A and B are shown apart, each in its own frame.
Chain A
Amino acid sequence: MSLKGKAAAIGIGELKPYREPTDATALDLMAAVAAEAIADAGLEKKDIDGLLVGMASADPGMIYPSAIGEMFDLRPRMLNVLDIGGASGAGMIWRAAAAIDAGMCNAVLCLTADLNRLGRRRPPMISLMYEFEAPYGAIGANCGYALIAQRHMAKYGTRPEQMAKIAVDQRTNALANPLAFFNDSPLTIDEVLNSRYICEPLHLFEIVSPMSGGAAVVVASPEIALRSKHPPVWLIGAGEGSDRSSVTYAPEITESAVKGAAETAFKMAGVERKDIDLVCPYDCYTITVLVTLEDAGFCKKGQGGPFVMDHDLTYAGDFPCNTHGGQLSFGQPGLAGGMSHVTEGIRQLMGRGEDRQVKNARLAYVNGNGGIMSEQVSLILERLS
């Protein structure tokens, strides 16, 4: 059993993230990106017969997919909600392919949108686990990733400027992306290191900025894909895994389930790390990218710091990474942010990267990450020449 070449991404829709609140609800944003993605795929709404949605943290509800289906007057033959945090977007892509391969449907709309809810967060006290976290101030994701960074620095000698370089190169990419929120001024390593500590050792500019926004992808059967408007981007490898919810109980916090997910994806795809033309690893923090690149096998464990210093991570560089700017510069529209890595991978392989197009891009590695590196989804996408 394999999902290699069983389905392809044929259309995308994406909003430019924005920070200030408007009257738009998360469902309004979903409608906008759904319409754009379906049109981009060259399909009509009636052609969509599968629906995967990410629950908006701004608008949580039960029995969500059918409510969305009803709003858009869809008649899905497969519908589900994905609840694996920032990994949900990437997780939808292989689930769509699996449903198509199983003959359950032919064209799946993978849909995410969310609103910026900063300042309206309440301490979570909803489960046994939070009983042992929130009283100590382990609230929100910042502190969890800071714990990972601190131990990575102690264990492997990783340096602050190495982590900062990731944010700097991704900003260079964002300058060439009109959809990125932070696309008007470059960033330097000194600026990152001189920005204030939020959770030491993480500085402000190493941390995503919460936004509103959304993105959607249409995944279709080979039959539909072969007559699609844009070059189809085939899913040729996928893997998923989880080894924790809270970072405290991870087997080893400097490592993650990316390892198993990437291993599975590369094995399925039958390609090597060196064959990959661009990577889009989920980036809620600089340390997330560093750990992901190590665990996905692009460098040795613990060598992520020297690796990012030795390579140019920009779209024109020798190791293009998050060419849309990553969430660090693109913006993080809540739980929808993880879809931006998927759409960028697809955009580049379709040859629609415009000013930031990676030359001859044929193979992309995309990673989705939820929680405190809790849920991982690795995808390998290919454009056939």
Chain B
Amino acid sequence: MSEYIKPLPQPSKTSQPFWDAAKRHELMLQRCEACHRFIYYPRARCPHCFSDRLLWRKCSGKGKLYSFTVVHRPSTRLFADGPYILAIVELEEGPRLTTNIVAPAEKLKVDMPVTVYFDDVTPERTLVKFKPAE
């Protein structure tokens, strides 16, 4: 198996639970106990109401494909192993994520339903990607 050379997340104390959950193949986001909104990416305070009462909650893993691009020529050689699909997914719970779609580009349409796909890129690290919903 070839070595994984792409950038890997380096979790902070704040974001560690997100990546730990991903490794368990669970999508967990912070939810604000004060204004009841989910947030992404993980933060120390809610960006909506500034409350620090944030609890980790499991999410459905369902969302829609907000936008996508087929990257033919990446800005770094680290991603030169072939075209990949970079996307923004909007989760059912509200927040959007930068992610990849694991599917042929021809099958993709803006706003189509997608579902989470956990990619164990290294033994230690799992990235949160998506695929078209069945």
Task: Tell me if A136 and B100 are in contact (CB < 8 A).
Answer: yes
A196: B residues at CB distance < 8 A:
72-73
In the complex the two chains form, is A137's CB within 8 Å of B84's CB? yes
Q: Across the two chains, which residue of chain A brings its CB closest to B68?
A: A150
B71: contacting residue among A143, A246, A249, CB under 8 A = A143
Question: Do A136 and B99 form a contact, CB below 8 Å, given A122-B76, A253-B88?
Answer: yes
Which residues of B are found within 8 Å of A151, using beta-carbon distances?
Answer: 66-67, 110
* Size class of the contact patch on chain A: 35 or more
Does residue B60 face the partner (Cβ distance < 8 Å to A)? no
Do the beta carbons of A147 and B74 come within 8 Å of each other?
Answer: no
Looking at A128, A131, A134, the one whose CB has the most chain B CB atoms below 10 A away is A131
Residues of chain B in range 52-82 having any CB-CB distance to chain A below 8 Å: 66-76, 78-79
CB distance from A318 to the nearest CB of B (A): 33
What is the size, in residues, of chain B's interface with A at 8 Å between Cβ atoms?
41
Contact B69 A137 (CB under 8 A): no
Inter-chain CA distance A249–B96, complex, in Å, is 7
A128 touches B8 (CB 8 A): no
**Given contacts A131-B15, A137-B79, are A253 and B67 in contact (CB under 8 A)?**
yes
Q: Does B6 make an interface contact (CB < 8 A)? A: yes
A135 at interface, CB cutoff 8 A: yes
**Bound Cα distance from A247 to B66, whole angstroms:** 11
* B73/A154 in contact, CB under 8 A: no
B109, CB-defined interface residue at 8 Å: yes
Given contacts A139-B75, A155-B110, whether A147 and B86 have CB atoms under 8 Å apart is yes
Q: Out of A132, A197, A253, name the residue touching B72 (CB < 8 Å).
A: A197
The contact of B98 among A128, A138, A149, A200, by CB within 8 Å, is A138
Please state if B78 and A129 are interface contacts (CB–CB under 8 Å): no
Residues of chain A within 8 A (CB-CB) of B111 are 154
Name the distance in Å between B39's Cβ and chain A's nearest Cβ. Answer: 10
* Cβ-neighbour of A143 out of B9, B15, B66, B69 (below 8 A): B69
Chain B, 1-44, contact with A by CB distance < 8 Å: what is the 0/1 string?
A: 00000111111101100000000000000000000000011110
The answer to whether B68 touches A132 (Cβ under 8 A) is no
Q: Are B69 and A131 in contact (CB under 8 A)?
A: no
Residues of B within 8 A of A131 (CB): 9-12, 15, 41
Contact A135 to B72, CB < 8 A, known contacts A123-B78, A148-B67, A248-B88: no
Tell me if A135 and B68 are in contact (CB < 8 A).
Answer: no
Cβ-defined contact, B86 with A143, below 8 A: yes
Interfacial chain A residues near B7, Cβ < 8 Å: 123, 125, 134-135, 139
Would you give 6 A-B contacts (Cβ < 8 Å), ordered by A? A135-B8, A143-B71, A197-B72, A199-B86, A200-B105, A253-B66
**Which residues does A use to contact B, with CB under 8 Å?**
121-123, 125, 128-129, 131-140, 142-143, 146-151, 154-155, 196-202, 246-249, 253
